Structure 1
Amino acid sequence: MDSQSSPIEEHTMQQGPTFSRSLWVDTVEPSRYPRMTRDNLVDTAIIGAGMAGLNLALLLLQSGQRVAVIDMREVGSGVTANTTAKITALHGQLYTDITRRFGREAAALHGEANQNAIAQYEAVIKRYSIDCDFSHAPAWTVSNREEDMAALAAEADAARQSGLPASFSRDTGLPFGVSGGVRAENQARFHPLKYLLGIARELAGREVKIFENTRALEIRPGQPADVITDRGLLRAKHVVLATNIPFHRSSEFFLRVVQSRSYVLAYPVEPGFIPDAMYYQTRQPFRSLRLQTSGDRTWLLVGGEKHHSGQVTDTEACYARLAEWARETMGLENPVYRWSTHDQFPLDRLPYVGPVSRGQKNILAVTGFGGWGMSQSMVAAHLLRDLIYGVKNSLSRTYAVGRLKLSDLGPVAGQNLHKVRRLVSDRLSSPKTQAKDLEPSHGGLTKLDGSTVAAFRDEQGELHAVSRVCTHIGCVVQWNNAERSWDCPCHGSRFDIDGRVLHGPAVKDLQKKKS
């Protein structure tokens, strides 16, 4: 598919994208792994067939373990399918912050591990001959504000002291006004789904069990632990939640992360349209740029418009603002693809990797990549492997799930208070719109037979009505007009127009309503 235009591409090149679909999804053949059909006993069960889950599965396979990976949809269909796929250790203005919070040693551990992740990806790609458009490129953190230059120069010093090949420069090569930034050499990018599907083929060919369309509903702790799914029982000595946000003991994580969405547009451009590098513009509104060569086409990926998940209903406006910026700064018109992604931002800037609690050490989780999941998923996979085998790893304490102190809760007190207010006020509110009055291609909270429901009317006039109450903790979902989904403003769960779970932590669908 790489060398030819797909049907969606031919349509959108003329009319513009009419729904969200990533370049990555449209340039691979979908995976087809079976559902789980019977109970299974393995050494390690991994929930989530994304980058962190399959990288870990490969490491455990190499160590001789019996492994099963389950996903409620398909391999790579979650966050991995919607990333910008930068494999970089330069994570915005991170190193000055974590040096201040944790000290120079912790910053160096983080920097070294993420820089090593690039070489580890390259080694896997070469060993298993995975054709995934991997290439090296410098990464930049830039700003268009002169007052930011001193802080970026300090970030370059902190990054360099943390083991990155980093420097400060005023010459970014960008064709629009940027004052300067941090440049890190020897970073990388790739096609994430080509990589992941290549890993999946290798795993399945060596008797790792991969089960798609198999939803984990509950984890019952024990030795071994039981994963209750909608397809049977999966029993394992160790269970790893690699689901972007863990559903098991979810309260352990929601005090420690903030859920965020951001948006990407993909434009066909000529090679050399911008320098062959990856850019991240700090401060709001943040911007992200990177080139991607796929077959005989070159694409420019333009990202930005970050906001708290479920708390913006007019997401079409997010795409519109991003497109306007691309047009004004670079003269770009008519994006072919558009998509959005879902990230967990940890309070102290470092991911959470390890046992979910002291009493459940054989149940592990990974979350909080803060938008830098490609490098950090590889780092997490190596740490999880060591934790499973009881091997000492210097990152285990730095990334520990329970490292947050009560004194650190201040930054999220307002966020959590907002969630409580939404939980109460949204349940009490009553919309005036009647479901019968919804226009085609429109959705929202409406009245249906005297009750408030979440309703969408499709282009054929059919009404899709579901419960407005998220199945996680009971917040009221909000309509996402660009993605055509119901999004929870409290913890970021997402559902399609018929109520099926698209994104956790919810594991149960919204109840359908008779229309």
Structure 2
Amino acid sequence: MTNSKRVPLYPNSLWLKESETTHMPAHSGEDTAEVTITGAGAAGITAAYYLAKAGTKVVLLEAGRVLEGTTGNTTAKISSQHGMVYDELIQNHGREKTSQYFEANEKAISDMRKRVTELNIDCEWEERDAFIYTKSEQQKKVMEQEAEAYRLLNVNGGDALEEHDLPYAVERALVIHDQAQFQPVHYYRALLEEVVRLGGRVYENTRAADVNKSNGKVVVNTNNDSTITSDYLLVTSHFPFNDGMGKYYSRLHVERSYIIGAKVQTMPKHMYISVDTPSRSLRTAKDENGEELLLIGGEGHTSGKNEINTFERYEALRAFGEEYFGLQTVPYRWSAQDMITLDKMPYVGPMTSGEEQIFTATGFMKWGMSNSEAAGKMLADYVLGNENVYKEAFDPTRSELKKKNIQSFAAENMDVGKEMVKGKSNRGDKEKNLENDEGALINTEDGKAGAYRDETGKLYVVDTTCTHMGCDLSWNNAERSWDCPCHGSRFSYDGEVIEGPAVTPLKRKTDLE
């Protein structure tokens, strides 16, 4: 393999460029608002926009940097084509609620399209059709069931075997017309600027640590020892930071997936995702010089559980691009993780049954662009007291779990138990000194610990017990992070929280001595 075809050593999202990032202050002191929103990603910014537009006083908090979480590391397909999901949703929820889910996402696409025009947002919006396909004869029957679901839902699309422009043979394909793709950071940065113009206040490097109620108000305490007191709290922090209230840790499955941005010889026009295993996602995009790239995604697995070197995930995508699309160079590579609910329908609404002040949005099943728009509007409607015909389908307190979902619930929690036991019994991987830019579990006099030696030779050692619920973490060499296989928390090599539900950093070696 030539050097030009190698995958970059460090992750770098196409959407995130230092010159284009938004800098906001950290929150401090005691503060009040009508609505506090935790999580300044797609759903949080969208909810803030709707509320600010209605004249509501909003405070929006981001634990890290604004838009540098999942929203800045997405494939950025704006589509109701969410994989092989509609037949399963009909089986789980019935035709009416499945129709609500589909229509909510279609309306979301339409609303985003209108907003791009109304606010004159330069976000590389491009109309595209979205295809799902299989190369396998065995998957054709499953796709027939999905095609029937399309017919029941009156989807604008259907069978499309003759319409695709992939450079390899396909056994069956379905399409949904009039979908889109865009540059997500450009879009949400413009929306964020509108929130600020309308009086909203935005703070980054401010992690919500806990929440309580006092005198009929919701009080959020942050890691900066600041507080915000408000009438309502919207939790859009990907995995709810206060997840114990609704036991979301037992109701969400966390998956990580990978993307490369490549220059190729053969460029498909439309957006694609395959049914086959491993799945492959395709869309086009432009780099900062206006040159076209092919974004190749896939290689999904449970976060923190990876039987192979995580860097090999990127290599598999590179090899796929080389085999089918004439891959020439790979200037970008990044990854993201998302939540999947037990019954595949997102949770958007009251955090718990009877709750009237604290609401959440999570479980977008890797399809966060249209779902975040729908969720942001729903959350705003809860606060404003507006009717929203889609609320019932997305209600987090729904209880009509089918047998299959109960089995998924049991399996997910049994798996968590196994990970806890396995992690405690495993010894470290290393008895020797680490090489530069190498991380691993090591054996110390005090037992097992996590260590990483950076490129300059500096050593970082942390306790690999997740601060959320005590699972043992695993090393992710591609992202240089410690990842939790139980609930998806992620920590930097020096122990700082990257992704929740954990809110407390790992203990460092100096803390352990």
Shared fold, TM over 0.5? yes
Matched, 1:239 2:230: no
Greater CA drift, 442-451 or 114-123: 442-451
Residue in 1 that maps onto 2:503: 507
Query: Distance in 2 between the 1:475 and 1:161 partners?
Result: 43
Greater CA drift, 249-258 or 187-196: 249-258
Please show how residues 26-65 of structure 1 align to structure 2 within 5 Å: 26=17, 29-65=20-56
Cα deviation 1:131-152 (Å, max 9, x = unaligned): 1101110000111112333432
State TM-score, norm by structure 2. Answer: 0.94
User: Is the 1:17–1:335 contact (alpha carbons within 8 Å) kept by the matching residues of 2?
Assistant: yes
Query: Distance in 2 between the 1:362 and 1:177 partners?
Result: 53
Q: Structure 2 counterpart of 1:428, which letter? A: S
Matched, 1:440 2:436: yes
Residue in 1 that maps onto 2:172: 180
Please show how residues 117-128 of structure 1 align to structure 2 within 5 Å: 117-128=108-119
Give the drift of 1:163: 4.3
User: Is the 2:243–2:501 contact (alpha carbons within 8 Å) kept by the matching residues of 1?
Assistant: no
User: Is the 2:5–2:328 contact (alpha carbons within 8 Å) kept by the matching residues of 1?
Assistant: no
Residue in 1 that maps onto 2:312: 317
- Residue 417 of structure 1: SS of its match in structure 2? helix
Give the drift of 1:347: 1.7
- Residue 65 of structure 2: SS of its match in structure 1? coil
Residue in 2 that maps onto 1:284: 277
Residue in 1 that maps onto 2:129: 138
User: Is the 2:264–2:325 contact (alpha carbons within 8 Å) kept by the matching residues of 1?
Assistant: no
Give the drift of 1:85: 0.3
Query: Distance in 2 between the 1:344 and 1:113 partners?
Result: 19
- Residue 185 of structure 2: SS of its match in structure 1? helix
**How much identity, in percent, do the aligned residues show?**
33
Residue in 2 that maps onto 1:6: none
Give the drift of 1:160: 4.3
Matched positions, count: 501
Cα deviation 1:277-331 (Å, max 9, x = unaligned): 1001013211100011345210100001010000116201211222222222223
Cα deviation 1:193-214 (Å, max 9, x = unaligned): 1111111112122221000111
- Residue 382 of structure 2: SS of its match in structure 1? helix
- Residue 59 of structure 1: SS of its match in structure 2? helix
Cα deviation 1:94-122 (Å, max 9, x = unaligned): 22111222222112111111111111111
Query: Distance in 2 between the 1:304 and 1:119 partners?
Result: 27
Q: Structure 2 counterpart of 1:478, which letter? A: S
User: Is the 2:41–2:66 contact (alpha carbons within 8 Å) kept by the matching residues of 1?
Assistant: yes
Give the drift of 1:470: 0.6
Q: Structure 1 counterpart of 2:178, which letter? A: N
- Residue 366 of structure 1: SS of its match in structure 2? strand
Residue in 1 that maps onto 2:466: 470
Residues 13 and 197 of structure 1, relative CA distance in 2, 3 Å threshold: farther
Query: Distance in 1 between the 2:100 and 2:5 partners?
Result: 48
Residue in 1 that maps onto 2:366: 371
User: Is the 1:112–1:163 contact (alpha carbons within 8 Å) kept by the matching residues of 2?
Assistant: no
Residue in 2 that maps onto 1:253: 248
Query: Distance in 1 between the 2:493 and 2:399 partners?
Result: 37
Residue in 1 that maps onto 2:389: 394
User: Is the 2:7–2:318 contact (alpha carbons within 8 Å) kept by the matching residues of 1?
Assistant: no
User: Is the 1:89–1:164 contact (alpha carbons within 8 Å) kept by the matching residues of 2?
Assistant: no
User: Is the 1:446–1:452 contact (alpha carbons within 8 Å) kept by the matching residues of 2?
Assistant: yes
Query: Distance in 1 between the 2:508 and 2:361 partners?
Result: 32
Give the drift of 1:249: 3.0
Query: Distance in 2 between the 1:473 and 1:255 partners?
Result: 12
Matched, 1:419 2:416: yes
Give the drift of 1:448: 3.0
Q: Structure 1 counterpart of 2:483, which letter? A: D
Query: Distance in 1 between the 2:411 and 2:63 partners?
Result: 33
Question: Structure 1 residue aligned with 2:290, among 296, 316, 319?
Answer: 296
Question: Structure 2 residue aligned with 1:156, among 141, 147, 154?
Answer: 147
Residue in 2 that maps onto 1:170: 161
Greater CA drift, 163-172 or 135-144: 163-172
Give the drift of 1:69: 0.3
Query: Distance in 2 between the 1:360 and 1:221 partners?
Result: 12
State TM-score, norm by structure 1. Answer: 0.93
Residue in 2 that maps onto 1:211: 203
Cα deviation 1:367-416 (Å, max 9, x = unaligned): 11001110000011111111112333232221111224565321232232
Query: Distance in 2 between the 1:71 and 1:367 partners?
Result: 16
User: Is the 1:157–1:166 contact (alpha carbons within 8 Å) kept by the matching residues of 2?
Assistant: no
User: Is the 2:267–2:325 contact (alpha carbons within 8 Å) kept by the matching residues of 1?
Assistant: no
User: Is the 1:48–1:71 contact (alpha carbons within 8 Å) kept by the matching residues of 2?
Assistant: yes
Gap runs ≥5 in structure 1? 1-11
- Taking only aligned residues, the RMSD between alpha carbons, in angstroms, comes to 1.8
Query: Distance in 1 between the 2:227 and 2:278 partners?
Result: 45
Give the drift of 1:37: 2.0
Question: Structure 1 residue aligned with 2:260, among 223, 242, 265?
Answer: 265
User: Is the 2:208–2:241 contact (alpha carbons within 8 Å) kept by the matching residues of 1?
Assistant: no
Residues 118 and 260 of structure 1, relative CA distance in 2, 3 Å threshold: same
Greater CA drift, 72-81 or 274-283: 274-283
- Residue 509 of structure 2: SS of its match in structure 1? coil
